[in-house]
Structure 1
Amino acid sequence: MWLYILKRLLLMIPTLFGILLLTFVIIQFVPGGPVEQMVAQLQGRDVGGEGAAAAGAGFQGRQGLDEARIEEIRRLYGFDLPAHERFIQMVGQFLRFDLGQSFFHHQSVWQLIVERLPVSISLGLWTFLISYAISIPLGIAKAVRAGSRFDTATSVLVLVGFAIPGFVLGVALLVIFGGQLQWFPLRGLVSSDWHQLSLGAQIVDYLWHITLPVTASVLGAFAITTMLTKNSLLEEIRKQYVLTARAKGLSERRVLYKHVFRNALIPIVTAFPAAFVGAFFASALLIETLFSLEGLGLLGFESVIRRDFPVVMGTLYFFALIALVTRLISDLCYVWVDPRVRFD
């Protein structure tokens, strides 16, 4: 196993290199980069991606700025170097886990990630816990009552929830419960006076703010885990060892939870690491943007719009590294859960 882990860790290096190289090449052809945006800002024009791109390639909108000032701006952002030198320099920094400095936030990318990470963790952790706490018992109940009205009705409900995009549900929740009824706040993770509240009031205030975002995120997460649990249980129930256990006189509850449940949860347990981390980052962009939550998803989106390339590359490197490590942990879980699996 240790040889397998070493091979997988070594394979992460070319994988990360390929991801960074492909993204870096694409970035070179994106119009409206940081230099163009700074030129547009100095000229009092729109500094967004579209407005800066309107200046044209080669800084056609530089009227009023001399060549020395343009060159100074290029050196400020490191664009005075050829593209291949900038890429090599960036890779060298990433190997030292130095993600560089943001062009527009004027702080390190690591600091930005650390500041935004608690919001993403908060949203993802609640989504993961609630979805699994409901989906697994529901999947078991559906498998035991397969073909019944309960099974049909719950299947319709979870599939309808899966079909509704999270951001569409989020808009509806904001309009109804945040706008019309005014039961919940429209934005933010906590109130502005949160630090002045008592501990109990802080917890209540936090739960009050997180209710709508978590509801919008968690609704579509039920279907996959619920149906996977149900189908895994049904597959195990039909196997010969279950018939043998029943023939020995074991109770249905003992057969279900001691024999069937243990084997049926193998694909679910092995998917825990990926699902746990994926809940933090997957589909968080629209929810964070909609509810004005300062998380990693919103940070990445704003960085793309503002052409903040160090943040774009840094967050991509961070996400890719987490995804690769999570995939390795998921594969190792197969051996831990099912001793019959061998990597050789």
Structure 2
Amino acid sequence: MTAYVVRRLVLGAVVLALVTIGVFLILHMIPGDAVSLQLQDASGVSEEQAEALRESFGLNDPVHVQLAQWAGDAIRGDLGESFWTGESVTTMFLDRVPVTLQLGAWSVLISTIVGIALGIVSAVRRGGWVDNAVRVFAVAGLSVPNYVVALLLLILLGTQFAWSPPLVYRGLFEDPVSYVQQLALPVFALASGSVAAIARMTRSSMLEALNSNYIRTVRAKGATSWLIYFKHALRNSSIPVFTLVGVHLATVLGGTVILETLFGLPGTGQLIYDSVLSRDYPVVVACTIFYAGLFVLTVILIDLVYAVIDPRIRTGKGS
């Protein structure tokens, strides 16, 4: 088991290294840099002064030199400073990450509860109007991107009810009502696709379990419907659902970039969006590594849980 964990961690480190290299290359392929954007409206700045500013930021160094410098500082816990504000990237990130984590946590919680509930009802009422409605909703939820759902909600509520979420973010304990109003729409939009996917997976797994021989045996013994559905069928069909929830947890934060910008949420999604536009390389790299690291860590944890459940996974042997 120890060797299996070490292999997964090594592969995760390789993935993070490749992501870092890719981000550096992509950022430097974008025309312009932070200095050009800062000085585009400034007058009386000579080319020598601009080059001196680039030199202070290290932008005149080759990409591989910048990458090596950043990696060395990051290993020591220094993620650099923002090109625009001069503020520590670590401080900026830690100030923003709680909002993004709350948005992701609420989305995962709601999508898991609602998705599993809809999947169970759809499986139990197979072929009925409830089942058909859930299946139509699942297809629609998987087909429409979350940012489109967010835009439709904003347009509908704004035109039909003259309502829009608060513009200034307030914490849960600072102003609970404003907090709910601010997060309700982005959480709904972010969870829409996941609810559909989890509902479909739960329905499929439940139907497979309900049609199995051991469920027929349980029915023959006179077990109640609730006992069959929740103790036996749901329990034995939870592994694929668990996998989907884990993947959603890993990918949900990636959807916050556009949603936080649309709803004015001061999270890491909005931070990375603004930083890309301003070519603020240290901030972009730090936020990207955070998203990639969270994804890799979640996938590793899912693999480890599978390895505990089924030892054949870590040994590579079939049944």
Contact 1:104–1:308 under 8 Å retained in 2: yes
Judged with a 3 Å threshold, the aligned counterparts in structure 2 of structure 1 residues 186 and 340 are, in CA distance, closer, same or farther, namely same
Judged with a 3 Å threshold, the aligned counterparts in structure 2 of structure 1 residues 66 and 323 are, in CA distance, closer, same or farther, namely same
Letter aligned with residue 211 of structure 2: R
> 2:104 aligned to 124, 132, 136, which one?
124
Contact 2:89–2:286 under 8 Å retained in 1: yes
CA RMSD of superposed structures (Å): 2.3
How do 1:231-246 and structure 2 match up within 5 A?
231-246=204-219
Q: In the alignment, does 2:247 pair up with 1:267?
A: no
Give TM-score, length-normalised by structure 1: 0.83
Cα deviation, residue 152, structure 1: 0.7
Cα deviation, residue 183, structure 1: 4.2
Letter aligned with residue 139 of structure 2: L
Q: Which residue of 2 aligns with 1:98?
A: 78
Judged with a 3 Å threshold, the aligned counterparts in structure 2 of structure 1 residues 331 and 82 are, in CA distance, closer, same or farther, namely same
Q: Which has the larger radius of gyration?
A: 1
Letter aligned with residue 102 of structure 1: S
Partners of 1:333 and 1:251 lie apart in 2 by 31
Partners of 1:101 and 1:66 lie apart in 2 by 24
Q: In the alignment, does 2:303 pair up with 1:323?
A: no
> 1:220 aligned to 190, 193, 200, which one?
193
Contact 2:182–2:263 under 8 Å retained in 1: no
Q: In the alignment, does 2:33 pair up with 1:33?
A: yes
Judged with a 3 Å threshold, the aligned counterparts in structure 2 of structure 1 residues 270 and 217 are, in CA distance, closer, same or farther, namely closer
Cα deviation, residue 100, structure 1: 1.1
Residue 314 of structure 2: SS of its match in structure 1? Answer: coil
Judged with a 3 Å threshold, the aligned counterparts in structure 2 of structure 1 residues 188 and 273 are, in CA distance, closer, same or farther, namely farther
Q: Which residue of 2 aligns with 1:48?
A: none
Letter aligned with residue 25 of structure 2: V
Partners of 1:223 and 1:273 lie apart in 2 by 15
Contact 1:233–1:264 under 8 Å retained in 2: yes
Partners of 1:66 and 1:138 lie apart in 2 by 64
Q: Which residue of 1 aligns with 2:22?
A: 22
Q: In the alignment, does 2:293 pair up with 1:343?
A: no
Q: Which residue of 1 aligns with 2:266?
A: 294
Letter aligned with residue 221 of structure 1: S
Q: In the alignment, does 2:56 pair up with 1:76?
A: yes
Partners of 1:40 and 1:14 lie apart in 2 by 39
How do 1:177-192 and structure 2 match up within 5 A?
177-178=157-158, 180-190=160-170
Q: Which residue of 2 aligns with 1:7?
A: 7
Cα deviation, residue 178, structure 1: 4.1
Judged with a 3 Å threshold, the aligned counterparts in structure 2 of structure 1 residues 83 and 213 are, in CA distance, closer, same or farther, namely closer
> 2:222 aligned to 249, 263, 273, which one?
249
Report Cα offsets for 1:218-238 as digits up to 9, x if no partner: 223211000000001111122
Q: Which residue of 2 aligns with 1:52?
A: none
Judged with a 3 Å threshold, the aligned counterparts in structure 2 of structure 1 residues 163 and 129 are, in CA distance, closer, same or farther, namely same
Partners of 1:101 and 1:167 lie apart in 2 by 31
Judged with a 3 Å threshold, the aligned counterparts in structure 2 of structure 1 residues 264 and 141 are, in CA distance, closer, same or farther, namely same
> 1:111 aligned to 86, 91, 94, which one?
91
Judged with a 3 Å threshold, the aligned counterparts in structure 2 of structure 1 residues 175 and 66 are, in CA distance, closer, same or farther, namely closer
Q: Which residue of 2 aligns with 1:258?
A: 231
Q: Which residue of 2 aligns with 1:135?
A: 115
Q: Which residue of 2 aligns with 1:284?
A: 256
Contact 1:136–1:226 under 8 Å retained in 2: yes
Letter aligned with residue 239 of structure 1: S
Residue 343 of structure 1: SS of its match in structure 2? Answer: helix
Partners of 2:166 and 2:45 lie apart in 1 by 43
Structure 1 unaligned residues grouped into runs of 5+:
44-63
Judged with a 3 Å threshold, the aligned counterparts in structure 2 of structure 1 residues 235 and 154 are, in CA distance, closer, same or farther, namely same
Contact 1:284–1:297 under 8 Å retained in 2: yes
Judged with a 3 Å threshold, the aligned counterparts in structure 2 of structure 1 residues 185 and 27 are, in CA distance, closer, same or farther, namely closer
Q: Give the number of equivalent residue pairs.
A: 315
Partners of 1:82 and 1:176 lie apart in 2 by 49
Partners of 2:91 and 2:98 lie apart in 1 by 12
Structure 2 unaligned residues grouped into runs of 5+:
none
Letter aligned with residue 328 of structure 1: I
Report Cα offsets for 1:206-226 as digits up to 9, x if no partner: 112222222222223211000
Letter aligned with residue 116 of structure 2: I
Cα deviation, residue 92, structure 1: 0.9
Report Cα offsets for 1:296-330 as digits up to 9, x if no partner: 11111111111111111111112111111111001
Cα deviation, residue 139, structure 1: 0.5
Partners of 1:187 and 1:277 lie apart in 2 by 28
Letter aligned with residue 21 of structure 2: L
Cα deviation, residue 109, structure 1: 1.5
Judged with a 3 Å threshold, the aligned counterparts in structure 2 of structure 1 residues 161 and 13 are, in CA distance, closer, same or farther, namely closer
Contact 1:272–1:330 under 8 Å retained in 2: no
